[in-house]
Amino acid sequence: MSVLDCIKPGVKPGQIVLAVDLTVAGSTEAVLAAILSLGYTPEIRHIAYPSGVHVLAVLKDEQHQVVEDDYLIGEWQQLLSVVSPDAVHLWRGKTKSLA
C-alpha cells in the first residue's frame, strides 16, 4: 500500500472519487479483503474532518469534462453489498456551466 497522502474535503469540478472510509467501515482487514476480492487496488489516504482524521481506501480518483449521471453507480452499489453503507463514498465535483 502507498504512503499516506492527504486529500482535502470536497472534490474539484469534474473530479470523481470512489472511496471507503476505513475509520468507520468495521474490521479493516476484512474490509480490505472484500475490496481486493472485487478487483480494486486501493490507495490509502487520510482526510481531516472537524471530528478527526479518517483513513480512506481510495478506489477511483478520476477527472472528467463530462460525466453521465449514473457513472460508477453500479460499482458504488456493489461496494454497498460488502461494506457498511456509512463507509462507502462516491464524491462528484460539479462541472462549471458554460452559460
Q: How far apart are CA 34 and CA 49, in angstroms?
A: 25
18-49 pLDDT, tens digit each: 999 999 888 889 999 999 999 999 999 988 87
Q: What does CATH list as the number for 5-92?
A: 3.30.70
pLDDT at 69: 76
Q: How far apart are CA 82 and CA 87, in angstroms?
A: 11
> Are β-strands 15-21 and 5-6 bridged in parallel, bridged antiparallel, or unpaired?
unpaired
pLDDT at 3: 36
pLDDT at 21: 92
48-81 pLDDT, tens digit each: 878 888 899 999 988 888 877 788 888 999 999 9
pLDDT at 87: 92
Query: How is the chain split into domains, by residue range?
Result: 5-92
